[in-house]
Amino acid sequence: MTLPTVTVMLAGVGGQGTILAADVLAKTAVAAGLDVKLSEVHGMAQRGGSVDTVVRFGHSVASPITDHGCADHLVAFEMIEAARQLPFVKPGGRLLVNSRTIDPLPVLIGDLAPPTGVEEALVAEGAIFIDAEELACEAGSPKSANIVLLGALSTGLEFPLDLWMEVIGGRVPPATVEFNLRAFELGRRACGEGGACLV
Amino acid sequence: MSSTLLSGNEAVARGAWEAGASVGIGYPGTPSTQALEVFARMEGVYAEWAPNEKVALEVAAGASMGGARAFVTMKHVGMNVAADPLFTLAYTGVGAGLVVFVADDPGMHSSQNEQDSRNWGPFARVPVLEPADSSEAREFTRAAFEMSEHFDIPVIVRSTTRLSHSKGVVEVTRDRISTEPREYLKDIGKWVMMPAMARARRRSLDERLRQMSEFVEDSQLNRIEMRDSTLGIVTSGVCYQYVREALPDASVFKLGISFPLPEEALAAFAAQVDRLVVVEEADAYLASHLRSLGLDPEPVGLQPVGLPAAGELSPGIIARALGAEAPATRDSVSGLPPRPPLMCPGCPHRGAYNALRKVKAIVTGDIGCYTLGALAPLASMDSCVCMGASVGMAHGMRLAGQGSDRPVAAVIGDSTFAHSGVTGLIDLAYNGSDALVCILDNRITAMTGHQQNPVSGMTLQGRPTTEIDLEALCRSVGVRRVRTVDPHDLAAAEQAVREEVAADELSVIIFRAPCALLIKEKEQPYAVDEESCTACGLCIRLGCPAISTGEDGKARIDAMICVGCGDCVQVCRFSAIELTGPACDIGGV
Ligand SMILES: Cc1ncc(C[n+]2csc(CCOP(=O)(O)OP(=O)(O)O)c2C)c(N)n1
């Protein structure tokens, strides 16, 4: 069996939970019997800087990192980061974007103007927008926005639902399992459960 | 055997444990830190953070001499600090196995420079192993302990960010090599490196190196993969993975041991391929060694596209350097603001910089979260070179005559002060400097992810312990003016700075308040009263991520981000910042 390697990039801002989401995705792929590489960067960037994590899975995966034009999926936790990482997405790739903006410090302090045309550019690239925080609140806590986005991603991947549920159940703090599973479900529904996205 | 998903760092820790290492010592530093943190949580080990890397290696040297297998961890710049014992430990050799894990950071994700730790191999005459994924990280660390004992030499296991921080599938075992300490036998010819003995050990080292050079010629840690013979790549570490991805048909000499090099095997490989190319990050380490062997790798770096001399490689960069077309991409969006890392809401460092900015100080800085004080809007730090440098540099600035119109101050964190700032302070006291040294004591090593340190009162394995009495320490080295302030009390902080820069002798101010991330219960958030706000911008200049400017120029506070530290309330001259109603219980994401 040779499966083409699938590359997923998760992009966000330090503190948004991209690393946990990437970990759940990687563990799900392992549970499905695939070879997996996950690449993240710790340290300075985590203090509110841009954070991007790459998960690659398939029959046999060599490189943990990817290049411009090579990601099959981009899951962006924030719109400016979605725009920043856009060049990584393959022309036919899938672009899931949390419809939220976190202004970087130079914008907050008025040194730089807020960027214009970000949403329009993402729309033009066929982005699918999801309000992950709102769905997460509906599920029980805004902290599970990362799991909402995973739910949305899952409709474009071929892992069985119970595998995802099992991995999430084993990975998030026990007290939060219930609302995280609900968050995953809401993310899936927002993204058409295997079909076309509804947003 | 069972398989799990491990990062390179976790796998190195696992390998050390399986190899029977019973003592682990290190100093934190991205991307190496988790290796010791994970090791410390394993069964039947003793592990500690040392105040710096030199001490870490010396503790390990003693453990090894005393018969326990010792595991040392650090980032690349840590090796500069530990280099002194390293060079001589190559002469003495080891008692039980001694392995130094060092993680480089090509591309400088979290570092002040790029260094290629493979160079320590020929420089210090110690073997260097380079795993290429998590699975090899475990296997090679085990092999490193074996080599260390077999050849009587410390062994370096070198990683890079993309190995340390990438996860892959690893087969692990519960079996562990015996940790019974070996017997200690007094042997001054081996352990007392005074000239006569050192000369003999130098000859022994040359002999050990000769044996290692033989060993590497057919070691399983090096691997030749013959495919299409038109292109042969020599590579090591994570670059091997990029090569496999970029050039799946190429023949590859994958070096697992980058010192000593298997010279004969490399020459044989070179003879079998039409084109010989070296793919490596950081330094042209392999390329220059191959050249010194008379093998002539193509200078890929000089081609029109070329491999970059600095920064990281990727499969795409390698493919293009060797002539492949770049894949089609989507256009990037222009005009995006950069997103630099920032000081957290409630960070105590902010108050110290606010005070230093008030007196327009020239600030020699250091490394830690407080390095972010160099960026706008605080923009109050003038230098950052290496850990501990702030203190000596403040003295040097004074010697250059600076300080008459703007005062000179050093800024250094608690962990950094214990690492190598204290020796600088001794210099300033001893030589009568009149600079101001500010110790930003946030009770933890924050930047690298909250490691305990000699100031925090807790060890790596969670044992309560003594903490340095910083005030007494500074006094004991001869500083007479030592005072402590709470950086969240902005007026008191400013007054302390004003008084100490005016003093005509050396002074130390200890700014003491815990890292905001150590405070689990958030205070009630603040809000801006739009009526009273005059859009003066003073609160914005604190650089708090919770405060932004609206279109009307007035301040806004994001209640989801605000932790209620109250710094902004103190800078507002119009009492426009007040507590909100009952805190909404939505935390940040
Ligand atoms: C020789 C060396 N070792 C380790 C590091 C990694 N490092 C950078 S800053 C730092 C410690 C920061 O702690 P502290 O001084 O307490 O400041 P904080 O981050 O808590 O503000 C470490 C370990 C380094 N840069 N150089």
Domain boundaries, chain B: 2-218, 224-321, 349-518, 526-588
Q: Is the pLDDT of residue A197 over 70?
A: no
Q: How far apart, in whole angstroms, are the C-alpha atoms of residue B128 and residue B193?
A: 23
Look up residue A26 and give its two tokens. 């990687």
Closest C-alpha to ligand 1, atom 20: B446
H/E segment holding residue A81 = helix A79-85
Fold of B349-518: Rossmann fold (3.40.50)
pLDDT exceeding 70 applies to what percent of chain B?
97
Among A44, A61, A90, the strongest candidate for a mutation testing the B interface, having the largest count of B CBs within 10 A, is: A44
Residue-level pLDDT at B589 = 34
Per-residue pLDDT band at B301 (split at 50, 70, 90)? low
Q: In the prediction, which pLDDT does B326 show? A: 84
Ligand 1 centroid from CA B416, angstroms: 6
Query: Is the CB of residue B367 below 6 angstroms from any atom belonging to ligand 1?
Result: yes
Do B296 and B277 contact (CB within 8 A), yes or no? no
**Cross-chain residue pair B327–A84, CB shorter than 8 Å:** no
Nearest CA to ligand 1 atom 15: B413
pLDDT-based confidence at residue B329 (cuts at 50, 70, 90): confident
pLDDT digits (tens, 9 = 90+) for B174-219: 899 988 889 999 999 999 999 999 999 999 999 999 999 999 999 9
Name chain A contacts of B327, Cβ cutoff 8 Å. 67-70, 90
> Which residue, judged by its Cα, is nearest atom 10 of ligand 1?
B368
Is the model's pLDDT at A158 over the cut of 70? yes
Q: Using a 6 Å cutoff on CB, does residue B415 contact ligand 1? A: yes
Using the predicted structure, report yes or no on whether residue B16 has a pLDDT greater than 60. Answer: yes
CA of B163 to the centre of ligand 1 (A): 21
Is the CB of A48 less than 8 angstroms away from the CB of B245?
no
- The pLDDT score that the predictor gives to residue B303 is 56
A to B CB pairs, distance under 8 Å = 207
Question: Are residues B335 and A41, on separate chains, in Cβ contact within 8 Å?
Answer: no
Q: Can you tell me the mean pLDDT for B441-450?
A: 96
Report yes or no on whether pTM surpasses 0.90. Answer: yes
Q: Quickly tell me which residue has 């007290």 as its tokens.
A: A175
Give buried/exposed letters for B191-220 (b at 16+ CB in 10 A, else e): eebeeebeeebeebbeebbeebeebbeebe
Per-residue pLDDT, averaged over B328-352, amounts to 92
Fill in the amino acid letter for B263. E
Question: What would the pLDDT profile of B137-152 be if each residue is shown by its tens digit?
Answer: 999 999 999 999 999 9
The answer regarding whether domain B526-588 maps to CATH 3.30.420.40 reads: no
Atom of ligand 1 nearest to the CA of B80: 1
- Residue A193 pLDDT level (bands cut at 50, 70, 90): low
Query: What CA–CA distance (Å, rounded) separates B116 from B97?
Result: 24
Residue B516, C-beta contacts closer than 8 angstroms, at least 6 positions apart: B344, B345, B346, B347, B348, B563, B565
Whose tokens are 């202004």? That residue is: A103
Closest CA to A75 of A180, A5, A146, A20: A146
Residues B553-575 pLDDT 10s: 999 999 989 999 999 999 999 99
Return the minimum-mean-pLDDT range out of A168-182, B291-305, B426-440: B291-305
Mean pLDDT in chain B? 95
Q: Which CATH number fits domain A6-104+115-190: 3.30.70.2190, 3.30.1370.30, 3.40.920.10, 3.30.565.10?
A: 3.40.920.10
Q: Please give the number of the atom of ligand 1 that sits closest to the Cα of B370.
A: 21
Q: Average pLDDT, stretch A135-145?
A: 94
CA distance A64 to B562: 36
Chain B interface, best mutation among A8, A30, A41, A72, by max B CB count within 10 A: A41
Q: In terms of Cα–Cα distance, which of B342, B349, B356, B362 is closest to B511?
A: B349
Å between A132 CA and nearest CA of chain B: 11
Sorted by where each begins, the domain ranges of chain A are: 6-104+115-190
Do the Cβ atoms of B332 and A83 come within 8 Å? yes
Contact call for residues B421 and B388 (beta carbons, < 8 A): yes
pLDDT at B585 over 70: no
Alpha-carbon distance B547 to nearest alpha carbon in chain A (angstroms): 7
* pLDDT exceeds 50 at position A127: yes
Banded model confidence at residue B173, pLDDT cuts 50, 70, 90 = confident
Residue A158 Cα, gap to closest chain B Cα (Å): 20
- Opening angle at CA A156, ends A154 and A158, nearest 5: 75
How high is the pLDDT of residue B311?
A: 92
**Mean pLDDT computed over B493-499:** 98
Tell me: pLDDT of A196 over 80.
no
B135 C-beta closer than 6 A to ligand 1: no
Instruction: Look at strands A71-76 and A89-98 and give their pairing.
Output: parallel
Nearest CA to ligand 1 atom 1: B78
What's the CATH fold of domain B2-218? Rossmann fold (3.40.50)
- Cβ atoms within 10 A of the Cβ of B274, count? 10
CA distances from A75 to A6, A8, A9, A147, A198 (A): 14, 7, 6, 11, 17
Instruction: Tell me the CA end-to-end span of chain A in Å, nearest whole number.
Output: 35
Show the beta-strand stretches assigned E in B139-249: 155-160, 166-172, 223-225, 228-236
Q: pLDDT tens-digit profile of B41-93?
A: 999 999 999 999 999 999 999 999 999 999 999 999 999 999 999 999 999 99
- Interface contact B586-A142, CB threshold 8 A: yes
CATH T-level fold of B224-321: Rossmann fold (3.40.50)
Placement of tokens 């260390």 in the chain:
B148
pLDDT at position B583 is 41
Q: How far is B479 from chain A, CA to nearest CA, in Å?
A: 33
Q: pLDDT class for A198, splitting at 50, 70, 90?
A: very low
The yes-or-no answer to whether B2-218 and B349-518 have a common fold is: yes
**With 50 as the cut, is the pLDDT of residue B1 above it?**
yes
On the CB side of B444, CA atoms within 13 Å amount to 18
